[in-house]
Amino acid sequence: MSQEASMFAAASVVANYNSPTGHDLLVEELPLPADFAWGTATAAYQIEGGATQDGKGMSIWDTYAHLKPSRTNGENADITCDHYNRMPEDVELMASLDVDVYRFSIAWSRVVPLGGRNDPVNEKGIAFYNELIDRLVARNIEPVVTLYHWDAPQAIYDRYEAFLNTEEFRADFERYARLCFSRFGSRVKKWVTFNEPYIISIFAHLNGTLAPGRCREAGTDVKTEPWRVGHTAIVSHAAVVEIYAEEFRPSQHGEISIVLNGHFYEPYDANKQADIDAAERRLIFYIGWFGDPVFLGKDYPAEMRSYLGARLPEFTPEERNLIRRAAHINAFYGMNHYSTKYARALPRPPADDDWTGNIEESSVDSEGKEIGPVSGLGWLRVAPEGFRKLLKWVWKRYHLPIIVTENGCPSTDTEMEKAVDDKFRQRYFGLYLDAISHAIYEDGVKVLGYCAWSLMDNYEWSAGYGPRFGIVHVDFESLKRTPKNSAYYLRDTFKSRRKASPRDV
């Protein structure tokens, strides 16, 4: 720790957090760099609505959310927050909270309804995103744009099963990306290709809990399909990164990368080497799977090659050269993180479709100790020390500046008064921001900014409208927006804490 960082720690305000499960956590009000950016994040399908409005085509989520029997709690996002029609109001709301950055995604099927490289462009969809970007820029809010946040056009899935055909998907994604770069790139300086390819691969193509819902019960070859999907995402990312660098960056001067999600993992039994190894292996199977090819230009991690064998695709010579070239173009590491788990090495032989490295995850260790207080979802525990450790792990492995592109916790309170006075969420944010401060000043990690998930309560995928992650409350009958106390907490916290000296302290 530097002398200045020591002074900051000594001067920090410490408060006990008496959690619902009896945990005592400390909140240390450490500073953040003066140029540290803060903002909020959303995904198109979760907030836009306007499912068929102005020529929008169907996405795999439009299909999935209307399946019978329902796999989404009987709910869909046909209207959700109606952001498509209320966007000017939402931009003004963000401006009132003094956000620096708004990370959002473009709905591929809104701008190319049928998705393919030879399919027509929907100019009304283009106009919507142009207006959104213009309004953000006018309010000095930086647009950070994600090209793909889980909502592939249904038409390309019908044609060739989207990610399951690498060559076809790559060609269609390249055309879609070029369209977005050419129409929006003069004002967008940070691009994200894919949001959470791990989730696309495992949750959508192995256990079937997300669109398109592929799983063993549906006849899916779950032994190989998830790894093919991940392979397609990596190759398509690299192709689009190189297109941006060669064709658009010279005039637009922007940056591009990918967003990876991941828990941190602690050993289930800290005295067992097998569990210590399991925690590291789980990180590699979760993050290294994508991070090593994308950021290092390497093959899949050796641990995965050894364990998965022929289940894991081989990169062709052309693909190997592509990912090697693209690795040096990625400008930042986009990190989505919510919680920490324990990892236990399983003594029994793995299932033939195992994707974990034969590891069991839990929120309780060998001594019955919980990893942290539970939020509105059982798996999401408050464990800020794990967040700090993950920041260090990622920085050491990839040595790229980190932007925390999603972080937050849900509440299940629907009663207005309780939902708005969200003390639990405020404390979560405070603890996780402190973890960032410690990582910056004590561990030497370069963290550039933070986006809270989410701007507003929205459609939480297969969970429907139950979990509420928003810092703004949405009444889904009237669609009225009401900032929660956490929104004001974040606004005021970033005002007061961005007072540190330069990042190389």
Which fold, 3-500?
TIM Barrel (3.20.20)
Helices (H), 313-449: 317-327, 384-398, 416-420, 423-441
pLDDT value at 133 more than 80: yes
The whole-angstrom separation of Cα 278 and Cα 141 is: 42
DSSP-derived secondary structure for 449-499: EEEEE-SS----GGGTTSSB--SEEE-TTT--EEE-HHHHHHHHHHHHHEE
pLDDT at 28: 54
What would the pLDDT profile of 147-173 be if each residue is shown by its tens digit?
A: 999 999 999 999 999 999 999 999 999
Q: Which two tokens stand for residue 250?
A: 């010279």
What residue ranges do the domains of the chain occupy? 3-500
What would the pLDDT profile of 271-291 be if each residue is shown by its tens digit?
A: 999 999 999 999 999 999 999
Q: Is 406 one of the annotated active-site residues of the chain?
A: yes
Q: Provide the pLDDT confidence category of residue 502 given band limits of 50, 70 and 90.
A: very low
Spot the catalytic one: 196, 255, 319, 370. Answer: 196
What is the end-to-end Cα distance of the chain in Å, rounded?
9
pLDDT at 416: 77
pLDDT mean across residues, the chain: 93
pLDDT value at 103 more than 50: yes
Q: Is 168 one of the annotated active-site residues of the chain?
A: no
Q: Which of 22, 24, 10, 37 is nearest to 497 (CA)?
A: 37
pLDDT value at 14 more than 80: no
pLDDT value at 500 more than 60: no
Q: Which two tokens stand for residue 148?
A: 């793909």
pTM of the entire predicted model: 0.94
pLDDT at 270: 98
177-192: average pLDDT: 98
pLDDT at 29: 67
Q: Which of 254, 243, 257 is nearest to 179 (CA)?
A: 243
pLDDT at 154: 98
Spot the catalytic one: 28, 255, 266, 406. Answer: 406
What would the pLDDT profile of 43-57 be if each residue is shown by its tens digit?
A: 999 999 999 999 999
